[in-house]
Amino acid sequence: MKKLAFLAVTLSSLYGCGSDSTDDEQTTNTTATTPDVDVISDTNNSGNDNAGNNGNDNDETTDNNRNNGDDNQRGRSAQGIDEDVDQQRRNSRDREGRDDFVLNTQGGREIRSYDGSSNNQDNPEWGVTFSHLQRIAPAFYTDGASEMAGSAQKSAREISNLLVMQAEGESIPNTYNTSDYLWQWGQFIDHDLSLTDGSTLEAEHIIVPTGDVFFDPNSTGDVTISFNRAIYDPDTGTSTNNVREQENEITSWIDGSMIYGSDSERNEELREGDQSPFLATSDNNLLPRNPNGLPNANGFVSDPSVLFLGGDVRVNEQAILTAMHTVWVREHNRIASILQEQQPQADVEDIYEQTRRLVIAKLQIITYDEYLPALLGADTMPEYRGYDDDVNPTIYSEFSTAAYRLGHSEVSDNILRLDADNNPISEGSLALREAFFTGIGLYVEEDDIDSILRGLAKQLHQAIDIKVVNGLRNFLFGQPGSGGFDLISLNIQRGRDHGLPSYNDVREAMGLERAEVFSDITSNTTLQTALSNAYNSVDDVELWVGGLSEDPQIETGSQLGELFTAINVKQFDELREGDRFWYERYLTDDELEMVEGTTLAEVIRANTNIGEELQSDVFFVE
């Protein structure tokens, strides 16, 4: 079968024509490993699909049940990340503080570890890097242990075509008056919470229906979309009593890991130096580059050293995300400058760690005081009840692989770029399909990020529903046949890869009633018919599909349906309740006063040339 090759979207002088060196990846319509990630995620980190026969090209597919030691998951990943995953796992497991509690201090004050360990004193491994993703409901694999789910289902691309297609140029803006900042902040926080990379040796390519208008216009019937299964703990997947468990490569906490890294080695590379409290920057106060070759999602750039470096490897994934990273590196340095001026005799490490905890507090405040109320309704999240050391906040697979992938529905085909008068700049809007891995070309001067940051605040995001724009469904990373991918097919396939239980099984696990007929999922009769065409039974409906098909809970102000509202509330509540360093109990009174009332608008204005043209609540369009 032919597989769609990955080619660069833009910046052709920097991008190669494929990722690996196999002969099969050198020609048109052949397989190349793709950046298989939650590119616009309010949501987690990789996507996929499965088709008839598990969506596999059986000539290419390797054994599903790989438990033959650590040498299975090495090499360049599906996201274009050059790293030895097995070595990363060993490094994580060998660090102090994971198995036995370690008190980390600086300047007489306990501080967070960088790898997430030793937050919970009795369970120091909770929330640490390379933790197993938790499960709300039991895993559902075809063989009960590790084999891809969905063997009896339609191809993920076929389901995407039946349910998710949004017509070219069609816009379905939300009715809650919320802005594009909702999905961009969601992705930024997602990259603080979870990363489950694709492996390199387990191909489960997605079958494209014959005659697919975008991917098989010549009706060859032998086209597939490249897909690789996610990394997992190689000690799992051996039996029904030891099912395959995927791992979260980064910390689970809201701890600014996308800014500071999830291990001390990356953090050291991100700093200006060990005698400075500042984070490193490049010319014109932009993000630093990566000359030392730290693991990064490189997007198949021929010279990865020119890409930006952040705490999270996905910093270059799309240009709007890169702008957000830039703002927060500047915010760290702005706060560090103030503290250094106030405390000229203080140790630079004391200044650095104090700045870090203030930045983390601001991230937490914006997320819970601005973002979540805009997404879930003003009163949907429970009040903070204080720290509970019995709560394990480690990320749930149902959250990261389905319920927090809601952002894919929010994104529009074009991103506004506005000047200081909120008029379009001469270059016009940025097409979504031209935003992937292009920040290094778009951001040269210090204020180059400003127009996008203004534009996000002035455009209504797409309604959170089952529909997704062409830029993500057909043109992810480029044109079909020249890099284009269907992010929705990837979402569905990733759910099958993780052995996610069905929509109904997760509803039951969350204490909700099972749907008995398709009309129990949605009141939209057209969607009811589409669901019945995609699935034989309501019990076959997959989690991501069912969750986004539900009617939003308008009465509570939630833009999500009942199930995805419940999962998001559960995860975000546990992230707060189980965090011993949550800002409300960790900061001193003076520090609390410094961060009180923080808004995202305030942070943006303080670190750009943007002024009052940006409304005070950027999550709502004025």
Active-site residue numbers?
191
**Contact between 48 and 261 (Cβ < 8 Å):** no
Length of the chain: 622
Residue with tokens 């292009």: 438
**Contact between 466 and 545 (Cβ < 8 Å):** yes
Q: Nearest to residue 35, comparing CAs of 92, 97, 98, 78? A: 78
d(CA 250, CA 189): 12
Residues pairing with 76 in the sheet: 82
Which are the contacts of 275, defined by CB distance < 8 A and separation ≥ 6?
A: 348
Distances (CA, A) of 136 to 320, 505, 561: 32, 10, 18
Burial class (CB in 10 A: 0-12, 13-18, 19+), 245: buried
Residues pairing with 333 in the sheet: none
CA atoms in the 13 A half-sphere facing the CB of 338: 11
d(CA 490, CA 476): 11
CA atoms in the 13 A half-sphere facing the CB of 162: 19
d(CA 107, CA 351): 9
Which tokens belong to 124? 């120091």
Residue with tokens 């539900």: 550
d(CA 17, CA 26): 7
